[in-house]
């Protein structure tokens, strides 16, 4: 057993650190949502609990913890209780294969900044696990015994069918270009001037992927599964207390996952143009790369919030039309163009 400690202990440390960062990020992204919306609407936002309102997420968490948890009489209890977990846990599990920096050296030992360093099919794993989250929404809608919740769940399922194709084709173009499903290899190929992929050969894939992940995360202007004007509150109408909170924790965790996915595929990961982390030493260089990575993720989270408070909600037929008639053909065209470029470059 002692032979496994050098592997188990660093993995446990990285799990604890990443879960702490993600769950703290989830809590304070909710605060950022309210602060940014207040800034855009020329009002103050939360500013009573703690300095500048920084303890507002703690107060919200305590409120959810002590709030009465009600199960509707008509609900199918086993799936009703399971649905929030199916929404939150896949969003957290995906971070096992997301590299968040280069590597650090401590005590003569080198540790890659990823929980599962041997996962060379990280792209497939992330796509597979993140797609499980829709089952939580669908089962929540069906098991609640509420027709509005059911309609919200069905809307989520149809959104996924529409936008998964665009996401898959956009990711496929990146995989073709790099020849790897490994996130680290994809990031390495974006070093130097390759950092500007999103304005280079992968520009169309970047546009398709970014728009599609808004629909994947059920964010405005694609939040039809919880459209208040038509469905009261959507798939989570019959939920309260901690179970209600788990749906929103899952939504914000998915936002962080989606932002990390975009950063790794198109925005250079932890790379910065003209910066070599070896200049800063084996420890500080690795830590600086992690700071750069999470800073890029934070910028994309701001974009998620910015878009929510800028664009109105699409009609349902407009959403489906955008997915099937615009993004899917555009992603297919991009795949053809990337394949042609590879042939012209003499790629086997």
How high is the pLDDT of residue 291?
Answer: 93
Cis peptide bond upstream of 47, omega within 30:
no
Three-state DSSP class for residue 276: coil
Residues 180-236: tens digit of each pLDDT: 898 988 888 887 655 555 667 788 889 999 998 888 888 878 777 776 666 777 788
* Cβ-contact 242, 63 below 8 angstroms: no
User: For residue 180, what are the contacts with CB-CB under 8 A and spacing of at least 6?
Assistant: 120, 186
How high is the pLDDT of residue 29?
Answer: 92
C-alpha separations of 223 from 36, 197, 272 in Å: 19, 29, 34
Contacts 24+ apart (CB under 8 A), 93-97: 93/129, 94/125, 94/126, 94/129, 94/130, 94/257, 95/18, 95/19, 95/22, 95/257, 95/260, 96/125, 97/122, 97/125, 97/126, 97/183
How high is the pLDDT of residue 194?
Answer: 54
| Distance separating alpha carbons of residues 27 and 19, to the nearest angstrom | 12
* Cβ-contact 99, 113 below 8 angstroms: yes
The first and second tokens of residue 288, run together, are 């600086």
Residue-range domain boundaries for the chain? 68-344
Residues of the chain with confidence (pLDDT) below 70 = 1-7, 192-199, 227-230, 347-348
């Amino acid at each position: 057993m002692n032979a496994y400690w050098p592997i188990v202990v660093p993995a446990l440390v990285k799990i604890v650190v990443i879960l702490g960062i993600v769950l703290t990020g989830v809590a304070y992204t909710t605060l950022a949502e309210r602060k940014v919306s207040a800034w855009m609407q020329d009002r103050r936002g939360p500013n009573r609990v703690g300095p500048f309102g920084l303890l507002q997420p703690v107060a919200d968490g305590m409120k959810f913890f002590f709030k009465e948890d009600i199960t509707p009489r008509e609900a199918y209890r086993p799936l009703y209780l399971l649905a929030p977990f199916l929404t939150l846990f896949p969003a957290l599990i995906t971070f096992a294969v997301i590299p968040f920096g280069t590597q650090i050296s401590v005590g003569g030992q080198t540790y890659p900044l990823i929980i599962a360093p041997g996962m060379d099919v990280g792209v497939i794993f992330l796509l597979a696990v993140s797609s499980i989250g829709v089952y939580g929404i669908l089962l929540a809608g069906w098991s609640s015994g509420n027709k509005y919740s059911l309609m919200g769940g069905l809307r989520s399922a149809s959104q996924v069918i529409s936008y998964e194709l665009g996401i898959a084709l956009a990711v496929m173009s990146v995989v073709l270009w790099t020849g790897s499903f490994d996130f680290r290899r994809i990031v390495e190929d974006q070093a130097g001037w390759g950092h500007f992929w999103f304005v280079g050969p992968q520009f169309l894939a970047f546009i398709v992927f970014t728009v599609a992940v808004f629909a994947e995360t059920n964010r405005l202007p694609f939040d039809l599964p919880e459209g208040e004007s038509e469905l009261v509150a959507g798939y989570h109408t019959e939920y309260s207390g901690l179970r209600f909170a788990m749906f929103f924790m899952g939504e914000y965790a998915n936002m962080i996952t989606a932002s990390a996915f975009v950063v790794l595929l198109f925005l250079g990961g932890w790379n910065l143009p003209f910066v070599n982390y070896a200049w800063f030493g084996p420890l500080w260089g690795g830590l600086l790369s992690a700071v750069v990575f999470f800073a890029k993720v934070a910028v994309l989270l701001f974009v998620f919030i910015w878009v929510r408070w800028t664009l109105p909600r699409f009609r349902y037929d407009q959403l489906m039309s955008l997915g099937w008639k615009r993004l899917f053909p555009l992603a297919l065209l991009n795949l053809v163009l990337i394949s042609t470029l590879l042939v012209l470059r003499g790629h086997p």
